[in-house]
Structure 1
Amino acid sequence: MPRDSRSEYEWRMHKVVTHIDDHLERPLDLAELADVAHFSAFHFHRLFAAWAGETLGDYVRRRRLEVAALRLATQPRLSVLEAAVSVGFGSGEAFSRAFRARFGSAPSSWRAAHDWSLLPEANSNPDQIELHGFTKNGPGPRRDPDGAASPEPPMNVELIIRPPVTIAYLRYVGPFGAPVGAFWGEQVAPWITRHRLWSGARYGISHDDPSITPPEQSRYDACVEVPEDFVPDGGFQKTVLPGGRYAALRFHGLPAEINTAWTRLLRDWLPGSGFQFDNRPAFEHYAASYAYDDNTHAFECDICIPIAPL
């Protein structure tokens, strides 16, 4: 069944932004990106700006700097110059100027301030907890009624090899946390029910770090496993979630508690593991067999981060 007009338009634009993220290390010109989208180069710049809310040049520049910042935070042995070259900057000086203009500090100073081994142990504003992705404002260790920190349970992190999986996804753009839960309940779950896909695994993919990307531009994909020949509709797109080596942490708890698990994995386990993030997306994996409590909303999932040797 062919896509409807709106789904076709969305699919072409998603192809463009995926192509941009996959090729940040080299020049990206208007004609090339228009060709990826199968749109006229004469009109593509205006079409992209209307869809993305920013010009093509501004979007590419922002993504180069955000990806470089994420790599500086997650790949401790990557030099500033290597980070610059990996996203298409020809010199360290040009990169440092652009980075300072975007983030307000030099790359090396920014990296030191975003060392995950120094994540805060307490969150002074619980309302700002992000429930998904790479947030660095976790609530820290549990505390006894007298205020003393109580021991956290040991982490059972498993190193696994995941196969690639075909997924249909609907993208949400905006602040993470409670709005993502509403997005699943109001838009994603009814679509999964309508297409009888609850027997497949679900995934939540946070593409951006809320401490790097402005909340109103942060991207999250709500995903469900589908057959390879599945044709999505209703604004859903289809892609392949990459396989490979991941570190997986099983979580069971309330929605407001999953941020603690993300924080502990990044703060306590990753720095001493001998691994670092690679460039595949991290995600939450919800197997069809995993528990969910309708009364308490407690749920079970695997937090999966893609890893490569240091």
Structure 2
Amino acid sequence: MNDPRSEYERRMNRVLDHIDRNLDAQLDLPALADIANFSRYHFHRIFAGWMGETIGDYVRRRRLEVAAHKLAAGGSVLEVALSTGFGSGEAFARAFKIRFGSTPTEWRNSTPERTAAFLAAQKSNLSQANSKYGQAGNGASGEHDVSHNPFGETIMEVNIVDMQAARVAYRRHIGPYGPAVGQFWAQAVMPWMLGHGLAGATCYGIGHDDPSVTPADKCRYDACVEIPAGFEPGGQFSVANLPGGRYAVTRYTGSPRDIGPVWNRLMKEWLPSSGLQCDERPCFERYENLATQTDGSFTCEICIPVKAL
């Protein structure tokens, strides 16, 4: 018999995934309760207890966060409003101003300045972390390969690759990105992989939220392990299909704390000058081998789904 909490987790993930796929549709409580196979009468309490916010608050937050991403990519206000479930540009503008403190047009136009400020803050945090790291004597020299310095002058090498779809088992982590994600892999995912004969499987990490927009304690991350046809994971793992298609891919080797700025550089610097744009598929990190080096570094491919402008 499955652990009851594992069953709750799988059911709630079904609801969260359904909401994200249908932000432009009517999302009523009875239908969401049916997707989770929970009592319609009690579902609002179950959801609030599990997520720490009501269904209405969660849906509203996700709609506005997705809208913020689309505006930053240059979308028109009305198109973004309709694609995220707002009935009119006026209603969208009011809700957006309350959430982000600016109008949708101001948010879109200020993207370069906002991005620069975010990258500067990331650089400051990274410098402080590196300083503490060196002072603590946790590495031979506290230095990193200059080719992986996210703030260096080197040109980012990006390849356009056609990837095959992958069937994965995933477990979801909700909370801040960074060291907690590494601990989640080490404590909750790797032991499960070893126990199911999947030690050499290709793995994927999917961060569903932008920490510059979504509160850190609400950020969602899926630790995914590729599985063969017919394999049913059970426990706290659910099954999903990672879509194939065209991706922009860059290779990263370094410490977990340094990868955030590389993601930002790829999305904010390389992508706008590439003649391409992101589509609706998820971005992810792909790991051929999750084994880390003795200094805690690792290698992965950062993959973003792209299509023509």
- Structure 1 equivalent of residue 90 of structure 2: 93
- Structure 2 equivalent of residue 111 of structure 1: 108
- Structure 1 equivalent of residue 125 of structure 2: 125
Does the CA contact (< 8 Å) of 2:7 and 2:235 recur in 1?
Answer: no
2:214 partner letter = T
Identity %: 51
Look up the SS of the partner of 1:258 in the other structure. Answer: helix
Does the CA contact (< 8 Å) of 2:173 and 2:184 recur in 1?
Answer: yes
Does the CA contact (< 8 Å) of 1:116 and 1:267 recur in 2?
Answer: no
Does structure 1 residue 19 correspond to structure 2 residue 11?
Answer: no
2 CA distance for matches of 1:151 and 1:169?
34
CA 41–127 in structure 1, closer or farther in 2 if over 3 Å, else same: farther
Q: Per-residue displacement from partner, 1:254-287 (whole Å, max 9, x unpaired)?
A: 3233234223212321011111111111110001
Alignment of 1:1-310 (within 5 A): 3-73=2-72, 75-76=73-74, 78-115=75-112, 119=116, 122=120, 123-126=123-126, 152-288=153-289, 292-310=291-309
Look up the SS of the partner of 1:263 in the other structure. Answer: helix
Look up the SS of the partner of 1:220 in the other structure. Answer: strand
Q: Per-residue displacement from partner, 1:28-56 (whole Å, max 9, x unpaired)?
A: 11121112112221222122111111111
1 CA distance for matches of 2:80 and 2:233?
36
Does the CA contact (< 8 Å) of 1:174 and 1:216 recur in 2?
Answer: yes
2:17 partner letter = T
2 CA distance for matches of 1:150 and 1:12?
41
Q: 1:203: Cα distance to partner?
A: 0.8
Does the CA contact (< 8 Å) of 2:96 and 2:102 recur in 1?
Answer: yes
Which is helix-richer, 1 or 2?
Answer: 2
Q: Per-residue displacement from partner, 1:70-126 (whole Å, max 9, x unpaired)?
A: 1112x32x2011100001101001001001111111112122333389535642232
TM-score normalised by length of structure 2 = 0.86
Does the CA contact (< 8 Å) of 1:7 and 1:234 recur in 2?
Answer: yes
- Structure 2 equivalent of residue 137 of structure 1: none
Q: 1:128: Cα distance to partner?
A: 8.7
CA 99–118 in structure 1, closer or farther in 2 if over 3 Å, else same: closer
2:16 partner letter = V
1:16 partner letter = V
- 5+ unaligned residues in a row in structure 2: which ranges? 130-143
Look up the SS of the partner of 1:281 in the other structure. Answer: coil
1:104 partner letter = G
1:91 partner letter = S
Does the CA contact (< 8 Å) of 1:119 and 1:267 recur in 2?
Answer: no
Look up the SS of the partner of 1:230 in the other structure. Answer: coil
2 CA distance for matches of 1:60 and 1:127?
36
TM-score normalised by length of structure 1 = 0.85
Does the CA contact (< 8 Å) of 1:3 and 1:231 recur in 2?
Answer: no
1:172 partner letter = H
1:222 partner letter = A
Does the CA contact (< 8 Å) of 2:179 and 2:257 recur in 1?
Answer: no
Q: 1:176: Cα distance to partner?
A: 1.1
Count, aligned residues: 288
